[in-house]
Structure 1
Amino acid sequence: MRLVFAGTPAVAVPSLEALARRHDIAAVITRVDAPLGRKRVLTPSPVADAADRLGLATIKANRLDADVTEKVAALDADLGVIVAYGGLVREPLLSTPRQGWINLHFSLLPRWRGAAPVQWTIIAGDSESGATVFQLQPGLDDGPIWRSASTPVAPHETAGNLLARLSVSGADLLADTVDGIADGRLHAGEQHGEVTLAPKLTIDDARLDFTADLDTVYRRLRGVTPEPGAFTEIDGTRVKIVDAAPARDHAGLEPGVVVARDGHVYVGTAGAALELLTVHPAGKKAMRAADWWRGLGAERMIAE
């Protein structure tokens, strides 16, 4: 098939590569170069880099507007494919490729429609996740499903780990789906089941509430790692918690109380304690929690 591909972050790159091996990609749509790092150097998106490496033409735009629609119409594409582009496809672009657009979404639709499905999957404590390829419609992730595949969520898996894993397995699912659409083997079916929403995470979603039980705190931490990044405030200083682990044999700490025992740093929850492994205090580099605590010279502090 002759395709138009839209995507931006690294998780979309495996899909672009898989499709490029099997189909004719007329152009790749990705967001414009963004300033990154302390020097704010304009940097192409991971998808733009991959398209350049593959010798594919790119259309760089932060909005899928009339100009993009005109360029796509000139490509005479059979199908549009979108993976984490970062913008909405509206009419008339939605109907511009002959067979419309399909989307690879990293959830088992209709569960977790929205911008952050993997993060909310972990925060909610779901035992499984997956990827779904569906036909784009004007509504939020509500189009007919072409194919889906599930996978268990590992007990200590972060959102970043799970998303990286799904980006690879999802790429194979997407490429197989396009093959099936091309030869007429596949037929899309309506979504069934409970609809839940996965809105974009805010910085407030990343604050840990240690008055909750250990499992709830740990799921929240995993769900917001690496972005926006779990944090708390200790003695008025924001401390990002990069890595931590349940310490179920350490009970008796009041919620939010931070102490060191035998060279390990623990914070109390409504149940057992959470061991802090790596922290990133504001204005400093990430470091081992034990080194950070030693530098504070404290016996006991409160995280809130």
Structure 2
Amino acid sequence: MRLVFAGTPAVAVPALRELATEHEIVAVVTRPDAPLGRKRVLTPSPVAVAAEELGMPVIKTARLDGDVTARITALHADLGVIVAYGGLVREPLLSAPSHGWINLHFSLLPRWRGAAPVQHALIAGDTEMGVSVFQLVPALDAGDLFASTPVSVPSAATADDVLGIFAEEGASLTRDVVSGIADGSAVAVPQHGVPTLAPKLTLQDGLLDWTAPLAEVFARFRGVTPEPGAHTTIAGDRLKVLAAAPSNDAPLEPGHLRATKTALLVGTATAPLAVTRVQPAGKGAMAATDWWRGLRADETTVLGSGGSGA
């Protein structure tokens, strides 16, 4: 098969590499170089780096406009494959490859259609998660399913951890679907069930509510780590929570703090959350216990779940 592959982040790289072992990738479409780090150095996307290593032609574009459509159409591809590209494929590009486009999505569709399925699934406390490959259509993640499979997720895995697992599992699933399309055995069926939506998360989504039960607080921490990042407030300043786990220690009042040798316990509506790494405003990451000692506070100190900490 002659394939056009569209993707940008690291989670798309395993699928690109897997497909390259069996098919001809006639073009790789990815987002333009982006400024990264404190020095804002222009850096190619992980997909661009992988494509160049594999000797594939790369098209860097923020929009799949008329010019890009013409370039891709001229390649006479059999199939387009998209994995987290970060842009919409519209007509006439949608119909340019003879078999259209397929999309690897990190959810069990129709649950969690949208840009952040893994994050929303974790926040919601889903016990069943997985990956799907579907035929791309104009409506958001609504096309017929070629394949969908559950994937086991560790109980403490963050969104970053889960995306890494799903990237590998999804690469194999995508390879199988493309092979099925190539030999004519692949069959797509309509999605069944009530759709739920997973829009891109905002900074506000990372705010931890200490008045909620521990399970909900930890679920949100997992879902927003590393992006947009879990955080709370103290004396009106934002405090990033970088590493945490459930604790069996004695309950604390919501938002109240108590230090142990290895962690800083934060009270919730039930058991405490054990925070082990934080990043205060304007400072680097550090052990939560070191931050606590530098704060010279006591157990009357309270973290806020809104704009004002005490």
Indicate whether the TM-score tops 0.5. Answer: yes
Alignment match, 1:292: 291
For structure 2, the 5+ residue unaligned runs are 305-310
Mapped to 2, the partners of 1:193 and 1:250 lie a distance apart of: 42
Measured against aligned partners, the alpha-carbon deviations of 1:95-154 in whole angstroms (never above 9, x if no partner) come to 111111000000000010000000011111111211100000010100000011111222
Aligned residues of 1:78 and 1:98 also touching (Cα < 8 A): yes
Q: CA deviation at 1:261?
A: 4.0
Alignment match, 1:24: 24
Alignment match, 2:55: 55
Q: What letter is aligned with 1:249?
A: D
Alignment match, 2:160: 160
Mapped to 2, the partners of 1:203 and 1:258 lie a distance apart of: 24
Moved over 3 A (4+): 261-264
Alignment match, 1:264: 263
Mapped to 2, the partners of 1:288 and 1:130 lie a distance apart of: 33
Mapped to 1, the partners of 2:188 and 2:140 lie a distance apart of: 17
1:107-256 equivalence runs, <5 A: 107-251=107-251, 253-256=252-255
Residue 277, structure 1, aligned to residue 292, structure 2: no
Secondary structure of 2:195's partner? coil
Measured against aligned partners, the alpha-carbon deviations of 1:184-215 in whole angstroms (never above 9, x if no partner) come to 11110000012111110000000001011110
Mapped to 1, the partners of 2:288 and 2:269 lie a distance apart of: 21
- Between Structure 1 and Structure 2, how many residues are aligned? 303
Measured against aligned partners, the alpha-carbon deviations of 1:33-56 in whole angstroms (never above 9, x if no partner) come to 111112111111000000000000
Mapped to 2, the partners of 1:225 and 1:263 lie a distance apart of: 21
TM-aligned CA distance change 1:263 to 1:40, over 3 Å = closer
Aligned residues of 1:112 and 1:198 also touching (Cα < 8 A): yes
Q: What letter is aligned with 2:161?
A: N
For structure 1, the 5+ residue unaligned runs are none
Identity within the alignment, %: 61
Alignment match, 2:308: none
TM-aligned CA distance change 1:35 to 1:263, over 3 Å = closer
**CA RMSD, 1 decimal:** 0.9
Mapped to 2, the partners of 1:110 and 1:264 lie a distance apart of: 39
TM-score normalised by length of structure 2? 0.96
